[in-house]
Structure 1
Amino acid sequence: MTTWAIGDLHGCHDDLCRLFDRIALDPTRDRVWFVGDLVNRGPDSLACLRAVRDLGDTAVCVLGNHDLHLLARAAGARTPRSKDRFDEILDAPDRAELLDWLRHRPLMHHDPDLGYTLVHAGLHRDWDLDTALGVAAEVETILRADDYERLFDYMYGDEPEQWSPDLTGEARIRCAVNIFTRMRYCRPDGSLDLGPTGPPGTQPEGLLPWFELPGRANADLRILFGHWSTLGYYRSRGAYALDSGCLWGGRLTALALEREPRAVQVECEGAMVPVG
């Protein structure tokens, strides 16, 4: 049995199928972890969503910012963005079942036996494992409630930039969602700057990748994450970045987690063209 962790799909279903062939995935034996952002911008988000859902207990998938945006769009809380490609899902006959499955995905998964933690973007500097799991559970409880649509009335926005255990209400949940699904760079005090998206070395002075902040309470964890396509497949200080830019004509990465981590990649044609 092998557990594979796979980077952001963004609707690139053909590339996922080729990666499954490359790793010779056996759903009766293997397990697959997805870092989120199954959907949006790529050519076949509906097929990706169905494929991961249909893996059943073989798959673990955490929520990414684009997955949450799909749920917000479906709830009528957001107007379409120019790059959104959700219509095939929103018009699908199994729309309700797919969206219900999606909103019951976690924001964070930890496997103590394997010794890996799975999130979409990262963990705040001040969160140890128990704190992070507790904060994730707060958001998950809202998403799984009958009135979950209320989350999307206040989920969007960049404030507050700094997490504090004293945060309450909407500000607390919005900050938590930003950390789990949007974070890349932080200031040395742990506050977020959600603007820069380029690789390390291109950010404004005074910002650090979240996983390079000194004094991280979760530095003992091996954290698998995606979200940062310009970073590519990257390993540093117990952080494993898996978004290798499939959407942009890069690669789709699968990392075997048993024993010494081993990466397998397929080249991707790319549904979008990088700017610049």
Structure 2
Amino acid sequence: MPIYAIGDIQGCLTELQILLHQLQFNPQQDRLWLVGDLVNRGPDSLAVLRFIRTLGDAAVVVLGNHDLHLLALAAGNLKHANKSNLDAVLQAPDRDELLHWLRQRPLLHHDAARELTLIHAGLPPQWTLADARAAASELENVLRSDDYQTFLLAVYGNQPAQWSPNLTGIDRLRFITNCLTRLRFCTPDGRLALKEKGEIGSQTPGLIPWFQVANRRTRHDRIIFGHWSTLGYYAGDNVWAIDSGCLWGGTLTALRVEPLPLTPIHLKCNGYLTPGQD
């Protein structure tokens, strides 16, 4: 059964369909692992959601920060409303069905048989893989609960910046969210540096890519992630980064997970936004 992990789509439906055609993807027998950020900034977020939803069990989707942003907007959190072009989704006749489907997606997917884990952004060095799976489950339970809007109205913020098992309430949930959907750089002791967005080498001195922290407790676990378009495709340190900047005129990357070996396939994209825009 061929399996492909695909990087951040962000509303770029045409490129996704071209890539799937190139892969000869057959939803009756093949599987997709999507690293999140299905929506926002690109031209066809509504059509992307509708298409991926029709794939059913043929597609595994983990939530990214832009997917959570859509859910927050729908819940009434307008803090970053000016950084989106999601009106088509919010005004769609099938809006409620699509948003409900999105809320049921996981924050982390672990395939024990293949010893691979799929997330959107990163993991703090203090977490084991078991810790990460438990934390993701906590957040998933909140998003799937009847009280999900309370969380979404308070989700934004960069604090707390460091993990403690004693964190509770919104502080705990926000930290989990920021790791799984926003993390790129941190300090050697695991303090998140969420404002750093550039390529490796551009960061403030003392900061390290989360996957290069020497004592990272998941360093022996194989992890696939997206989110970091300025990093581009990266294979090393037991991680595979597959957000290669389709939205910005880079490529849309599919990582062939099965059959082995892990192999990237890149589709050149025209791009819809200029690099450097937030």
TM-score, structure 2 normalization = 0.97
The amino acid across from 2:108 in the alignment is: M
1:129 matched to 2:129? The reply is: yes
Residue equivalent to 1:70? 70
Matched, 1:266 2:272: no
The amino acid of 2:122's aligned partner reads: G
Distance 1:33 1:203 in 2: 30
In the TM superposition, 1:13-162 aligns within 5 A as: 13-79=13-79, 81-162=81-162
Give distance in 2, aligned partners of 1:207 and 1:35: 24
Match of residue 232 from structure 2: 232
Taking only aligned residues, the RMSD between alpha carbons, in angstroms, comes to: 1.0
The answer to whether the Cα contact below 8 Å between 2:76 and 2:153 also exists between their aligned partners in 1 is no
State the one-letter code of the partner of 2:155.
M
Q: Distance in 2 between matches of 1:88 and 1:135?
A: 32
> Which runs of structure 1 show a deviation greater than 4 angstroms over 4 or more consecutive aligned residues?
none
Deviation at 1:153, TM superposition (A): 2.4
Cα deviation, residue 146, structure 1? 1.1
Q: Give the corresponding residue for 2:166.
A: 166
The answer to whether structure 1 residue 214 and structure 2 residue 205 are counterparts is no
Gaps of 5+ in 2: none
Deviations 1:156-194 (A, max 9, x none): 100011011111111111011000000000001011001
8 Å contact from structure 2 (residues 125, 218) kept in 1: yes
Residue correspondences, number: 276
- Structure-2 residue corresponding to 1:249: 249
Deviation at 1:80, TM superposition (A): 5.4
The code of the aligned residue for 1:165 comes to P
- Once the two structures are TM-superposed, the CA of residue 79 in structure 1 deviates from its matched residue by 4.7
Partner of 1:185: 185
In structure 1, distance between residues paired with 2:77 and 2:192:
25
Q: Note the C-alpha offset of 1:143.
A: 0.3
Is this contact kept in 1: 2:75–2:153, CA < 8 A? no
166 and 80 in structure 1: CA distance in 2 versus 1, 3 angstrom threshold: closer
Question: Secondary structure of 1:82's match?
Answer: helix
Q: Is residue 73–residue 81 contact of structure 2 (8 Å, CA) maintained in 1?
A: no
SS of equivalent to 2:117: strand
Distance 1:245 1:174 in 2: 26
Identity in percent: 52
Counterpart Cα distance in 2 of 1:94 and 1:152: 21
